[in-house]
Structure 1
Amino acid sequence: MTDAPAAIAELIEIMARLRHPETGCPWDQVQDFASIAPYTIEEAYEVEDAIAKGEPAVLMDELGDLLFQVVYHARMAEERGWFAFHDVAKAISDKMIRRHPHVFGEAAARTAEGQVGAWEVQKAAERAARAETGTLAGIPARLPALTRAAKLTRRAGRVGFDWPDAASVLDKLEEEAAELRAELSNEQQAADHEAIKDEVGDLLFVLANLARKLDLDPEDCLRGANRKFERRFGFIEQKLLFEGKSPADSTLDRMEELWRAAKHHERSGR
């Protein structure tokens, strides 16, 4: 097995050399937190994709890329005198110990449900220590919008502000759809672009809530729909190719016909 401390030390040293102001990599030298942040997010999604593929070697590689992002941010912070990688590691170790007293301290919350409650109590205390007040405090603004919608309403639900069941959310969805239809039928539609945008936002927000009430991840639902669309549209393109055509050469009616064929093909293959 690889010596873990030595491997981490080597990675930290590689990052330091890349950032060296005189002998480092020209690209790495000019990066900052804002420019690196999109790569950090991208690497997290690539980890998720590797997990979905079930390929251990790919997962190991992607986890390495994600770890490198942590080292990158820690190095930039160290250059500013804020903190270093070892401070990051110590902070998360301390946090995990605080949040798991049933493992590292007092014997309590032995059930999964009990631990969730204890975890939330500890997080609330940490938010209070950071002077973050209010039920919705601490939910990152830069989360994917559907994920953030689910988190916001889950947090509100813990204090009783929630729909009683999924059926109630469906009723709300119909209400929001009707409001959008009303805006779209407005003769002053061009002038009401912001109103239409607002109604579409409300519709998406309710859909995120519906997924939450059904114990589903709204982002995962949409990713599944994206994959399904790609798969079915690829089917359309293949069939049109056999006919010597491309989608641009075809008609909407023909593509709709092939779309239905793609759906039938998927269902018959189950």
Structure 2
Amino acid sequence: MKHYTFDDCLAIVRRLRSPNGCPWDNEQTLESVLKYFQEEVYEALDAADRRDWPGLTEELGDVLWEILFLARIAEQEDHFTMEAVLQILGEKMVRRHPHIFGDARIENSDQVLAQWSEIKKQEKKTATHAGVLTKVPGSLPALLRSYRLSERAASVGFDWENAGQVWAKVEEEKGELAAAMAAGDRAAVEHELGDLIFALVNLGRHLEINAEDAVRRAANRFVARFEAVEATYAGRGEKMADKTIAELEAEWQAAKKRVG
């Protein structure tokens, strides 16, 4: 069996995207590949959350394939090559780890993070000026984007001092949401719900919890428990739709004990 290397895979994507290559692959665009790329990243995250190591092996390969594909499209349009991507990556990682590849002395991970931040600041001084929040992609999932925006704002001192202060903000936003609901103002409800969720993202950040990860795992728990309830009723030859909410809640609590 042939053992494929990174260069082999790069050669494969270049052949598929050649004039005599695969018609379907040659029809793909930046937009279509970005859609697949996002899907593959989420599938890899799901496999990682489930500690499905064989699945994660395959999904990481799929993510890498989309990266190679995107680089090939860019190469064909004379923007950059995969080699340029790797060159920039290698230079960046070496530059940001002078305690490994240079003479800097570092004693703990806190010093590593401080050094990393300082090097990034120096890099930005040589780049075109941009606002603190500019580099946070608008295409990120909303919870992750909220986390990164808050993280960037905190880097210049725009932040609460501790989790207790953030909790007070959460309580404030809860009150404003309740008032909007009582008034029956749908636009205000949406506004205040967004503010409450944003505050909760910041509470998670102060507790060193990424809200995107927390909610994704909560959703995974919901799926596991729901499927356990479904399986229980299916095993009895019964249907969930025929049960009262009290009966469903009882089975739900039992499922929580079984699957966590």
Fold agreement, TM-score > 0.5: yes
Question: After superposition, what is the alpha-carbon deviation per residue over 1:95-130, rounded to whole angstroms, capped at 9, x for unaligned?
Answer: 111111222223234421111112112223333433
Q: Which residue identity is paired with 2:13? A: M
Match of 2:35 in 1: 38
Q: 1:266 to 1:70 in 2, by over 3 A?
A: closer
Verify: 1:259 aligned to 2:248, yes or no.
no
Cα displacement (A) at 1:194:
2.7
Contact 1:136 1:156 in 2 (8 A): yes
Distance 2:17 2:217 in 1: 39
Q: Which moved more, 1:246-255 or 1:88-97?
A: 246-255
Q: Which structure 1 segments of 5+ residues have no match? A: none
- 3-state SS in 2 of match to 1:185: helix
Partner of 1:7: 5
Work out whether residues 99 and 105 of structure 2, in 8 Å CA contact, stay in contact via their aligned partners in 1.
Answer: yes
Give the TM-score normalised by structure 2: 0.88
* Same amino acid, percent of matched pairs: 38
The within-5 A match list for 1:194-205 is 194-205=187-198
2:213 matched residue in structure 1: 220
Instruction: Kindly provide the CA deviation profile for residues 69-104 of structure 1, in whole angstroms up to 9, marking residues without a partner as x.
Output: 121111101111111111111111111111112222
In structure 2, runs of 5+ residues without a counterpart are none
Q: For residue 166 of structure 1, what is the aligned residue in structure 2?
A: 163
Cα distance in structure 2, aligned partners of 1:254 and 1:245:
12
Instruction: State the secondary structure of the residue aligned to 2:92.
Output: helix
- 8 Å CA contact 2:49–2:217 kept in 1: the answer is no
TM-score where L is the length of structure 1: 0.85
Of 220-229 and 129-138, deviating more is 129-138
Alignment of 1:138-177 (within 5 A): 138-177=135-174
Q: Distance in 2 between matches of 1:67 and 1:197?
A: 38
Q: CA deviation at 1:247?
A: 2.3
Identify the residue that residue 87 of structure 1 maps to in structure 2. 84
Q: For the aligned residues, what is the CA RMSD?
A: 2.3
Whole-angstrom distance in 2 between the partners of 1:50 and 1:129: 39
Question: For the residues of structure 2 that align with 1:143 and 1:242, how far apart are their CA atoms?
Answer: 41
Tell me which amino acid in the other structure corresponds to 1:115: V
1:249 aligns to what? 242
Which is worse superposed, 81-90 or 144-153? Answer: 144-153
